[in-house]
Chain A
């Protein structure tokens, strides 16, 4: 069974650019959540997707958007990058929307210069 994978591992962008991060959920999992983790902080919930629909959103502006595909893989898109967007972006999948155990990927480290 393959765990949650994320790509790329590291990414460097400049302010104002756009970025797309990708996540493959664990086999059989239909729910994907995205988190932003700044250095020394706990992960902050961005949004969750369940069966290709957004199913909850944290306190992030609309320039953070996402997609979930029929195979339950997911993308996080961030437009108009700001310096404060530099963080570790984590994807987590869950067996189903009402199941409370989430399996996290290793994350993508985004640096905005």
Chain B
């Protein structure tokens, strides 16, 4: 599975849009790109998954360029409760490998 690289931390303010970009240079043809969110002392929670182009759900959008070597998670109008660690992963047949994640801090 491809190893992912993402920023260690990011800061934002309430009401702003946050974009977290992840690189996965060695992604394989069968890999999906998945993002999880984790709050302290809880298990990770699935946010969104995509293969290419754009995917949107009620929580976030995921942008994947044609070469699939990166992906961007977009969180619209963040609130204080969005403060968490965000992980991007390449996933194949339910095999998931987490990196260190991006610690997002939303300030008032």
A-B contact count (CB 8 A): 59
Sorting the interface of chain A by its residue count into under 10, 10 to 19, 20 to 34 or 35 or more gives 20 to 34
Q: A107 to B42, Cβ gap below 8 A?
A: yes
Give the distance in Å from the alpha carbon of A96 to the alpha carbon of B43 in the complex: 19
Q: A33 to B43, Cβ gap below 8 A?
A: no
Q: A100-B32, A100-B49, A101-B49 are in contact. Are A43 and B95 (CB under 8 A)?
A: no
Nearest CB of B to A106, in Å: 6
Give the distance in Å from the alpha carbon of A105 to the alpha carbon of B43 in the complex: 6
Give the distance in Å from the alpha carbon of A42 to the alpha carbon of B89 in the complex: 11
Q: A98 to B46, Cβ gap below 8 A?
A: no
Q: A33 to B94, Cβ gap below 8 A?
A: yes
Q: Return 11 A-B CB contacts under 8 Å, by A number.
A: A33-B94, A35-B98, A42-B85, A45-B97, A58-B97, A98-B93, A100-B93, A100-B94, A102-B94, A106-B41, A106-B43
* B residues in contact (CB < 8 Å) with A: 32, 34, 41-46, 49, 85, 87, 91, 93-101
